[in-house]
Structure 1
Amino acid sequence: MKFLYSLAVIVLIFVACNNQGNDRLPGSFVNNPATENGKPTGNYPVITFDSTMFDFGNVQEGQKVTHIFKFKNSGTSNLVITDVRASCGCTSPKWPKEIIRPGNENEIEVQFNSEGKKGNFNKGITVYSNSYPNQTTIRIKGFVVAE
């Protein structure tokens, strides 16, 4: 009986150690328009912002301030913004959910809530899209003046 138990444990160890998961995505899931020299090739969207930084200057504590970042799809295929994430909960972005065709413009609205904040702030907002590159960071900064 001891022999059968030992044999079962050894077989289970070999089976468990030989379990090589396939953690790679199929090639159809990966769409990297860059060549080995880093230059993109083919049809792809490109998100181009008028400006990637905005300075609010002095902001009174408790005030909510908003800035609109304008951008253009300067690529050759449709642009889709999949997500926009702020670096903290005091900053909330709104972005277009529809397709932006080549040559068309749109905007991302960013609101900063200064309640409970004091002093300098510098917040990053990451824009995720199907463009090249697929992440772009826009920033807001300023100084919160205590009441």
Structure 2
Amino acid sequence: MKKVILGLSTLCLVAFTSCKNDNAAKKIEEANVTAAAVRDAVSSNFPVITFNETTHDFGEIEANKSVETVFSYTNTGDAPLVITNIATTCGCTVPQDWSREPLAVGETGKFTVKYNGSGKGKVSKSLTLTANTEKGKEVVKITAFVKTDDAAISAAIK
């Protein structure tokens, strides 16, 4: 019983001493509020990437014939644009030659996409750019109709 009373007394003592009348609003410094407002205003300025085309159609291509295209883009936003990565949906599509340096507002950039012609029939491949835009990810696509050589296919089967 003594332990229970001692435990309750300790709990009450801790509870009453931890409650203070300090108002949290009194601890806020005006300089910090001003700095946060400036930071928040600047953080709403994002780069905007504008492509000349977001889908490139290679048309009809021969099976296993490599083709390439160049995607051009412009930074039409309010801050420098940085592309950190370009990922593809498969290894048959390879992006290359993009700058990882900041692209100033109004400047243009480009990157090359090579497709090795694998697959058959209508194919569509997506490339996802990771950038410091508001969405964080931008997507461009390539499409093609891969013609298969029926004679080569029948010879391979025999």
Instruction: State the TM-score, normalizing by the size of structure 1.
Output: 0.69
Equivalent pairs, count = 107
Aligned match of 1:64: 66
Structure 2 counterparts to residues 97-136 of structure 1, below 5 A:
97-115=100-118, 117-136=119-138
Q: Is the 8 A contact 1:46 1:133 kept in 2?
A: no
**Which structure has the larger Rg over C-alpha atoms?**
2
What fraction of aligned residue pairs are identical, expressed as a percent?
34
Q: Is the 8 A contact 1:77 1:102 kept in 2?
A: yes
Question: Following superposition, which runs of at least 4 residues in structure 1 exceed 2 angstroms of deviation?
Answer: none
**Any unmatched runs of 5+ in structure 1?**
1-32, 34-40
Instruction: Flag the structure with higher helix content.
Output: 2
1:141 pairs with 2:122 = no
CA drift of 1:133 comes to 2.0
**Any unmatched runs of 5+ in structure 2?**
1-39, 150-158
Q: In structure 1, how many angstroms separate the alpha carbons of the residues matched to 2:141 and 2:59?
A: 13
Deviations 1:16-44, CA, capped at 9 Å, x for gaps: xxxxxxxxxxxxxxxxx8xxxxxxx7322
Instruction: State the TM-score, normalizing by the size of structure 2.
Output: 0.64
